[in-house]
Amino acid sequence: MFRLYLSTQADIRAYEKESVRKKVTMNSRGLRSQLKDSVPVAGLCPQGAYGVQDSLRSGFTSVKNELLPSHPLELSEKNFQLNQDKINFSTLRNIQGLHAPLKLQMEYRAARQIQRLPFLPSSNLALDTLRGSDECIGFEDILCDPGQSEVMGEPHMMVEYKLGLL
């Protein structure tokens, strides 16, 4: 039998107090590698014309808010599906050769294009079946269901944003 926790409650409280005092909110050491290959995320880059922050829509700017995520899991969760796919495809390539991930990625691309208009919820049925996530339930099926969200976007603006005309 081994002890799973090496720090006592007193240590954890002291660490929390110290980090609040020094305004340390998270360990940003491993972030560079996560930020490097990540897909550009709308929340972390300025929207609006000419790449300048659109104060009317998104409020005032803060460089820290844009460069660093505020929660340790934010980046890894945003890119989780992409990273999983990358790992799986590279393993498949190493085992079976280049043709296997190429064929699968062709199918994924085709399935990803089956979407409804931006403001309507798409079922992504073909994509889910290919990934195998139609037989799994995770937090993304329970929390923040887009079909039950409290806010609704303006349809015309969402289509224009999707097409890049905004």
Partner 1 sequence: MALSTVLETPGAGFNFENATRNAALEGLFGGGQTPKPLKTGTTIAGVVFKDGVVLGADTRATSSEVVADKMCAKIHYISPNIYCCGAGTAADTEKTTDLLSSNLSIFSLNSGRNPRVVMAVNILQDMLYRYHGQIGANLILGGVDCTGNHLYTVGPYGDINKVPYLAMGSGDLAALGILEDGFKHNLELEEAKELVRASIHAGIMSDLGSGNNTDICVITKQGVDYIRPYQESEYKDKRNIKYRYRPGTTPVLTEKVVTLKLEVVQEAVQKMDTA
Q: Please report how close the Cβ of residue 103 comes to partner 1 at its closest, in angstroms.
A: 25
40 touches partner 1 by CB under 8 A: no
Residue 125: name the closest of 134, 116, 117 by CA: 134
- 65 binding partner 1? (CB under 8 A): yes
b/e for 98-136, b at 16 or more Cβ within 10 A?
Answer: eeebeeeeeebeebeeeeeeeeeeeebebbeebbeeeee
Distance CA 33, CA 157 (A): 34
Asked if 57 interacts with partner 1 (CB under 8 A), we say yes
* In the complex, minimum distance from the CB of residue 95 to partner 1, in angstroms, rounded to a whole number: 20
Stretch binding partner 1 (CB under 8 A), from 85-93, 98-106, 107-115, 118-126: 118-126
First to last CA, the chain: 61
Name the one range near partner 1 by CB under 8 A: 77-85, 88-96, 97-105, 107-115: 77-85
* Residues comprising the chain, all counted: 166
Distance CA(118)–CA(162), nearest Å, equals 7
Q: With binding defined as CB under 8 A, does residue 165 bind partner 1?
A: no
Residue from the set 49, 63, 151, 163 that interacts with partner 1 by CB under 8 A:
151
Binding-site member from 45, 80, 90, 91 for partner 1 (CB under 8 A):
80
133, amino acid identity: S
Of 84, 126, 88, 81, which Cα lies nearest the Cα of 108?
126
Cβ contacts of 51 within 8 Å, gap of 6 or more: 45
Nearer to partner 1, 98 or 142 (CB): 142
Q: Which of 139, 163, 164, 165 binds partner 1 (CB under 8 A)?
A: 139
Site for partner 1, rule CB under 8 A: 1-2, 4, 16-17, 20-21, 23, 25, 42-43, 47, 57-58, 65, 69-74, 76-78, 80, 118-119, 121, 135-146, 149, 151-155, 157-158, 161, 166
